Structure 1
Amino acid sequence: MEFDIVTLSRLQFALTALYHFLFVPLTLGLSVLLAAMETVYVMTGRPIWRQMTKFWGTLFGINFVLGVATGIVMEFQFGMNWSYYSHYVGDIFGAPLAIEGLMAFFLEATFVGLFFFGWDKMSKVGHLFATYCVAIGSNFSALWILIANGWMQHPVGAQFNPDTMRMEVIDFFEVLFNPVAQARFVHTVSAGYLTASVFVLGVSAWYLLKGCHIAIAKRSMTIAASFGLLASISAVILGDEGGYLATEHQKMKLAAIEGMWETEPAPASFTLIGIPDMEARTTHYAVHIPWVMGLIGTRSLTTVIPGISELEAHAETRIRSGLLAYDALQEYRAAPTREAVPPEAIEIFERHGDDLGYALLLMKYVDDPRRASEEQIRAAAWDTVPHVPTLFWSFRIMVAIGFFNVALMGFFVVLAARRKLGISRWPLKIAVASLALPWIAAELGWITAEFGRQPWAIEGVLPTVAAVSDMTVTSLLITIAGFTLLYTVLIVIEMRLMLAAIRKGPQPDHDPEMPLAPKALAPRNPVAAE
């Protein structure tokens, strides 16, 4: 295998991101479930709900600490591995990350301490307020990170400044209310809520199978199933919204997910299953459902969804347009002052500047894009096609898991409503066996979103090949091995701590605001009592 800096930098970031994302969904979901459980405790005064909150809070704390430890590294990677990316778009990308640290992480980190150590030092309402702040901080953190990521998927509210050679913000509110970012936020947090719900459901089912902690397990299953059903439906609906937005802003990603090589008449059919072939540029043994893709992707019966071949040809056109912008930009830079820039160069750049990023795709083959051959231009156009089989199957497995989770949660809601939790063992075994599914779906969703954006670091603006730092292959291989080893150790530590806490189970807890039951008075002289 031939290693290069771009591939290794991508691999390093992918590994750290995939590891980190194992912790994020559970943190998001458990924080909200804890707030719901403690709300019931405060409203009813029943100690069992306090006991439940403290038990699931212990598992939340283990996951939270390791999530923070793995997440910090990712932000440093932007400066270490992606320095030109940081320079080129730092004016936009850095703002949401800075706000995330100031508004969300500090809020979450401050009140998480009060949550764990304030049980007997704060009033019920005061402690509940701290719990809600932890939940709000967790979700605010996801919001600002996904605003930054949404801008990478659909860059709005910014423009390229030829004087600074950087992208700069021109409308922060447009960045903030980016429709792609908002849809991704709701979809991601819904997936996190579902992950936590399946986790609570599965652990509680295990308790029922073992015949222990019955009261807490049944209450936990009831709240997890209800919350999880809403979250699973939301994840499916917002996933559909993401597909609709991809039709507008990321047409190549959508075509690759669908395995649609040629443009079809509207409304396009949905490929239920098939075998995409990158070499033959076709999808073998495809099973189509008429009209469905057109309805999902365009919300109409007349709008055409372009296929991969048409989009590849369009990319080649934009590369040639971008070359004109690149040449005009070099004239701009060569001029001693802005007033000395030839007017025709300014005019050309204004007309073709939106395609400058496409010209930069040629930097994979030549240092100066203007020297690219016709064959290299065609190769760069083909590079805009992501690996279709990976996206095709990642998306379908993720969707299948999503619909299974809707059915699973709906089934347990019915059981809880009919007060039949724990009567039959086979549903409990299914719940335990399903524990890992939300994490698999979340990782596949990340692959679909991020791998599907390639070859772009910023969609249509900055190719990944032009975003990396000037590093050595050796240093990258060493850090990849180091991070993989470290993160694997952290995963093992978390699993051991979580399993130990689950085996130990909820511990007896006393509410200091409720009096202890009086003990029977024992006689001082046992003999006399006889």
Structure 2
Amino acid sequence: MEFDIVSLSRFQFAMTALYHFLFVPLTLGLSVIVAIMETVYVMTGRRIWRQMTKFWGTLFGINFVLGVATGLVMEFQFGMNWSYYSHYVGDIFGAPLAIEGLMAFFLEATFVGLFFFGWDRMSKVGHLTATWCVAFGSNFSALWILIANGWMQNPVGAAFNPQTMRMEVVDFYAVLFNPVAQAKFVHTVSAGYVTASVFVLGVSAWYVLKGRHVELAKRSLTVAASFGLAASLSVVVLGDESGYLTTEHQKMKLAAMEAVWRTESVPAPFTIVGFPDQKARETHYAVEIPWVGGLIDTRSLDTPVEGIEELVERAKGNIRRGLIAFDALQKIRAAGTGTVDPEVRKAFEDNGNLLGYGLLLKRYVDDPRQATPEQIDKAAWDTVPEVAPLFWTFRIMVGVGMFQILLMSVFFVLSARRMLDRYPALLWVAVLSIPLPWIAVECGWFVAEFGRQPWVVEGLLPTAEAVSSHGIVPVLLTICGFAIIYTILIIIEMSLMLRAIRKGPEPDEQPDAELIPASVVPAE
């Protein structure tokens, strides 16, 4: 990693974002699982389901608090470490964040309180409504965040104003219904459901192995396996949709993920494993499956998957047009409130959407218009992210996802046949699988964000132009501070979670009415 302000700012945001996302998927999934359990309790009246709701709700609450705390830190970073980014896209990016804070966060926080303190103060239906509002608020919160992130991947519904030097919203509905954002939302939420399902499955399997709280654990295993199987299958379907949209809107990311160096004859093969070599521009020891790459990436047999080299050549043309836009922008700004030459304005209107490509040259020259052909060539190759990390993290994510489908399928069958306690080895597999969904979701975010480089907003704003003008020392100090604080927080969080799991559910002193023997019911 280069030791400069851009790399350090990227590292700090990546560190805090990945840490924050340790809590988000479990929060999303547990909120729904808890609501399902309480729904069964209200419908059946069996108090063991109330006991289950309280127990898993306690674990949800611990995780929820840490998720909120770490999420606030990320929002402050936009203004402190990425001030020009905040200025440039504040009109678009700020709106979803504000809505998320005003609507989803307050909705979620309010009903979380009712969930924990309203058991003996509210009716069954009233408390169930509060629980479902917690689940709705959690997922609704994720929606607005992912709308903002989806716009960074596919900037729609906005236009650049040369007078203010900012992106401004021209169609809020296009931002709201951005197909990339919608695909990211459902895919991310489904991944959260799988994460919570594997967590509940693993903890419940541990209880069965230890012979503790067996009835509660078996019911929890059944809920987790059923919900998790549906969620894991949906992750594959929705992930395929997200990948297809990448084919349309982020061709370079797709080419790097698949290590497609040159456009191949259709339909393209899929490389299962290999060792991408960015200097040699080839993948060593590649193991390929014919046709599968074309079918997955383009959903056709006659559409090519464009290669990195061809996309770099296209980037060179975009950079040259970006230079025309940059030159026209300087003339428009120089004119101020005066009359702008119509030809200059037309040049900007025709090429302004590629201004960001011209800004890629500022890494090499202060005035991009003075760039040499060699510098244009370098800037074009800067549009290629590091291939090997993307290639492998994508395959790790997919591999873990396939394993989770298998795991959930096995436990779904075992629960249907009431054989959950007959195979201790499988129960241990469930326990040891608890970390896997976190590995998958962190890999997914790495692919999404690292694969977008060198852009902070795809095609519009280079990452190097978005950072604040801090010195290196303050950023280094905050990185160290965050590392220490977050390490302490994760130790506290893990201690609380493990303590709650070891303790187990609180005993319910009120048995189900239908289970009380008739002989002990007093005669009237």
TM-score, structure 2 normalization: 0.97
- What is the aligned partner in structure 1 of residue 346 from structure 2? 347
The SS at the match of 1:453 is: coil
In structure 2, what is the equivalent of residue 321 of structure 1?
321
Alignment-derived partner of residue 108 in structure 1: 108
Specify the alignment match of 2:162 in structure 1: 162
- Aligned residue in 1 for 2:427: 428
In the alignment, the residues of structure 2 paired with residue 410 and residue 512 of structure 1 have an alpha-carbon distance, to the nearest angstrom, of: 33
| Aligned mates of 2:209, 2:343 — CA distance in 1 | 77
SS of the equivalent of 1:419 reads coil
Q: How far does residue 295 in structure 1 lie from its aligned partner after superposition?
A: 1.0
Gaps of 5+ in 1: 522-530
Report if the CA contact (8 A) 1:120-1:512 is conserved.
no
Greater shift after overlay, 293-302 or 417-426? 293-302
Map 1:167-316 onto structure 2 (within 5 A).
167-316=167-316
In structure 1, the partner of 2:74 is 74
Counterpart CA distance in 1 for 2:457 and 2:336 is 30
1:463 equivalent in structure 2: 462
Shift of 1:39: 0.0
Q: Which amino acid aligns with 1:301?
A: L
Distance of 2:250 and 2:514 partners within structure 1: 62
- The match for 1:51 is 51
SS in 1 for 2:100: helix
Residue 69 of structure 2 aligns with an amino acid whose one-letter code is: A
Q: Does 1:390 align with 2:389?
A: yes
The letter of the residue matching 2:318 is: R
2:377 alignment partner AA: R
Deviations 1:311-339 (A, max 9, x none): 0111111001100100000000000325x
Question: Is this contact kept in 2: 1:97–1:145, CA < 8 A?
Answer: yes
How far apart, in 1, do the equivalents of 2:334 and 2:252 lie? 35
CA contact (8 A) 2:187 2:235 kept: yes
CA distance in structure 1 between the aligned counterparts of 2:77 and 2:317, rounded to whole angstroms = 34
Q: Could you tell me how far 1:298 is from its partner in structure 2?
A: 1.2
Matched AA of 1:383: D
**Aligned residues: percent identity?**
72
Q: Does 1:21 align with 2:21?
A: yes
Cα drift, residue 517 of structure 1: 7.0
Does 1:437 pair with 2:436?
A: yes
Contact 1:47 1:510 in 2 (8 A): no
Aligned counterparts of 1:329 and 1:514: Cα–Cα separation in 2: 77
Tell whether the 8 Å contact from 2:46 to 2:512 is kept in structure 1 after alignment.
Answer: no
Q: 1:187·1:239 contact (CA, 8 Å) conserved in 2?
A: yes
Cα 1:415–1:226 change in 2 (3 A) is same
What secondary structure, in the 3-state scheme, does the structure 1 residue paired with 2:106 have?
helix
Which range moved further: 298-307 or 497-506? 298-307
- Alpha-carbon distance in structure 2 between the residues aligned to 1:5 and 1:266: 43
Alignment of 1:474-513 (within 5 A): 474-510=473-509
**Rounded Cα–Cα distance in structure 1 between residues aligned with 2:400 and 2:286:** 21
Question: Can you list the C-alpha shifts for 1:42-80, whole angstroms capped at 9, x where unaligned?
Answer: 000000000000000000000000000100000000000
3-state SS, counterpart of residue 168 of structure 1: strand
Q: Which residue in the other structure is 1:83 paired with?
A: 83
Q: Does 1:36 align with 2:36?
A: yes
CA drift at 1:9: 0.4
Query: Residues 146-191 of structure 1: CA distance to partner in whole angstroms, max 9, x if unpaired?
Result: 0000000000011111121110111100101101001100000000
Shift of 1:509: 2.1
The residue type paired with residue 149 of structure 1 is N
Deviates further, 105-114 or 359-368:
359-368
Match of 2:377 in 1: 378
Is contact 1:455-1:463 (8 Å) kept?
yes
Cα 1:412–1:237 shift into 2, 3 Å? same
Distance 1:402 1:64 in 2: 24
Which 5+ residue runs of structure 2 have no aligned equivalent?
Answer: none
Q: Secondary structure at the match of 1:319?
A: helix
| Aligned counterparts of 1:115 and 1:515: Cα–Cα separation in 2 | 26
AA matched with 1:140: F
Q: Could you report, residue by residue, the CA deviation over 1:233-265 in whole angstroms, capped at 9, with x for unpaired residues?
A: 011111111111011000000000000000012
Q: CA deviation at 1:510?
A: 4.1
* CA distance in structure 2 between the partners assigned to 1:475 and 1:515 by the alignment: 65
Which secondary structure state, in structure 1, belongs to the residue aligned with residue 49 of structure 2?
helix
Instruction: State whether residues 45 and 512 of structure 2, in contact with CA within 8 Å, keep that contact through their aligned partners in structure 1.
Output: no
